[in-house]
């Protein structure tokens, strides 16, 4: 039974997953133009020092890292996405290391990173609490997590119920994306300390992925 499931999951990755990676930038283009790119820029302007991104995808954030970033490590577990990421990095002329790894198991030493960044990924990781514990492990004391994620609606119960109802089909279409994750509550329950939080809306996106949360969480120290 579990062999069948992993065969199905490999077939899904090899077909729709690969296609999803190929069309990802086009799927997001309208949202990026309508304000998402500006949000990314504002968030990532705060990155500094040794910086590690989780689930870097096709590399849409690469252009936004400021000069204060002294070393950039871009992690991404899905090879078809990592391929686009390497191409984006090469074209940018920016020094960055691409590492194929999931957010739950980062191949870096404890307390070695100044800034972790994550955008539109915590909806997709298999183990959200494990990912946040891993972020806490790799950050130096006082190091920061900069995040921008779409989340379960905090204030519109009708929309929140719709996000719950559509979780399964959306997860299939969105290559693992859960539209109803309460990511802010998960950060609050993690070892990190939530310091800044801004709520917003993803422009030109399907209604169930519109509620956005952006902010900063800090490792105690
Ligand atoms: C919606 S895309 C976001 C890409 C990019 N971060 C952005 O802001 O556009 C989600 C990304 O998370 C990656 N991903 C899926 N599972 C992951 C995991 N366990 N750890 C880290 N990244 C993961 C996917 O391969 C994909 O690149």
Q: Quick one: pLDDT at residue 28?
A: 97
Which atom of ligand 1 approaches the CA of 78 most closely? 25
Q: For the whole model, what pTM was predicted? A: 0.97
Nearest of 200, 208, 204 to residue 174 by alpha carbon: 208
Q: Quick one: pLDDT at residue 2?
A: 65
**Under 8 Å between Cβ of 202 and 36:** yes
Domain extent, residue 6, equals 2-218
**Under 8 Å between Cβ of 138 and 110:** yes
Which residue owns the Cα nearest ligand 1 atom 13? 55
Which residue owns the Cα nearest ligand 1 atom 17? 125
Ligand 1 pocket: which residues have CB below 6 Å?
A: 54-57, 60, 76-78, 81, 102-104, 119-121, 124-126, 176
Query: For the chain, what is the domain count?
Result: 1
**Under 8 Å between Cβ of 118 and 56:** no
Q: Quick one: pLDDT at residue 221?
A: 84
**Under 8 Å between Cβ of 105 and 133:** no
- In CATH, what number is assigned to the domain containing residue 184? 3.40.50.150
Which residue owns the Cα nearest ligand 1 atom 23? 55
Nearest of 170, 123, 175 to residue 12 by alpha carbon: 175
Q: What is the pLDDT along the chain (221 residues), one digit of tens a residue?
A: 567 778 999 999 999 999 999 999 999 999 999 999 999 999 999 999 999 999 999 999 999 999 999 999 999 999 999 999 999 999 999 999 999 999 999 999 999 999 999 999 999 999 999 999 999 999 999 999 999 999 999 999 999 999 999 999 999 999 999 999 999 999 999 999 999 999 999 999 999 999 999 999 999 98
């Amino acid at each position: 039974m579990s062999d069948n499931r992993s065969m199905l999951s490999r077939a899904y990755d090899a077909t729709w997953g690969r296609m999803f990676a190929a069309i990802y930038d086009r799927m997001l283009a309208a949202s990026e133009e309508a304000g998402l790119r500006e949000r990314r820029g504002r968030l990532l302007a705060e990155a500094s020092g040794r910086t590690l991104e989780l689930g870097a995808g096709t590399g849409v954030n690469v252009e936004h890292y400021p000069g204060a970033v002294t070393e950039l490590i871009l992690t991404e577990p899905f090879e078809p996405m990592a391929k686009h990421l390497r191409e984006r990095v090469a074209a940018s002329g920016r020094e960055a290391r691409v590492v194929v790894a999931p957010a739950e198991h980062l191949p870096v030493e404890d307390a070695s990173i100044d800034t972790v960044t994550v955008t539109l990924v915590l909806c997709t990781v298999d183990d959200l609490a494990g990912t946040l514990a891993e972020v806490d492990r790799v950050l130096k004391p006082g190091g920061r997590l900069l995040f921008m994620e779409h989340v379960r609606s905090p204030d519109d119960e009708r929309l929140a119920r719709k996000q719950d109802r559509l979780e399964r089909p959306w997860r299939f279409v969105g290559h693992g994306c859960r539209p109803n994750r309460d990511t802010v509550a998960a950060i609050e329950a993690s070892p990190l300390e939530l310091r800044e939080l801004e709520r917003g809306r993803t422009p030109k996106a399907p209604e169930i992925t519109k509620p956005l949360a952006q902010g900063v969480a800090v490792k105690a120290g």
